[in-house]
Structure 1
Amino acid sequence: MTRVDRSADATASGVVSDYAGGVKTFESLFAELSEKAVTRPEGSGTVAELDAGVHAIGKKIVEEAAEVWMAAEFQSDAEAAEEISQLLYHVQVLMISKGLSLQDVYRFL
C-alpha cells in the first residue's frame, strides 16, 4: 500500500502526488482533475494515468477497491477513509478518460 504524505505534498517514494493539497469535495476534485486533463502539467500522475488508458485505469480501480476492503477489515477507520479517497480519485480519472461528467453519474444515484 502506498501512503501519501499530504504535509510534504509527496508520496512515500518522494514523488509529488496529485493527492496532495488538502481537503477537497467530490466536485472540486473532479474539476481539478478535469483541468489537469486539459492543461496536462508535466509530471502529473493524473496525466500519466489518463495516457495509460481505460484498461490500466480499470486495473488500478480494482487494486484500490481491494485495498479499501482490506483497510475496512483490518486497519483503522482513518486508513480505510484514505483508501476510499484513493479509490474515488481513480474512479474520477476513469470518468474523465471516458468523457463522463458528474451529472452522467448522478442521474443513477
Structure 2
Amino acid sequence: MNKELITDITKYQEFYPPNSLKAINNVLKWKNSEEELQGTIEALTFIVNQTLMKIIPEGRIVFCTMLERLDGRFVLLDEIQGVLNLNNNQMGKNIDELKNMG
C-alpha cells in the first residue's frame, strides 16, 4: 500500500467556530437564550482549539484512516485515546502497519 491511499482529510480544512446553535436548540428543545447559546459556542470553540488542533499530522492520518474504515462499526474510546497518545516513533510504526494491512 502506498502513502497516497492514506489521506489526511483535515489537511485542507479550516476550523470555523459555530455561529448558530438555533436549530439544535429547537430540535432538542433546550429553550436556551441567545446568551446561553453563545456560551455553548465559546465552550465548543475552546475544546476544539485546546484539544483537536493539537493532534500531530501523523496522528490525524491514523485517526482519519480509522474513521474512514469504521463503516458504521463501534470503536472503543480507549482505542482512539491510545492512538492519539502515541509518540512519533510509535506513530510511524502504526502508519507502516496500516500501509501493510491495506
TM class, shorter-chain normalised? under 0.3
**TM-score, normalising length from structure 1?**
0.26
Q: Compare the two structures and name the one with the higher helix fraction.
A: 1
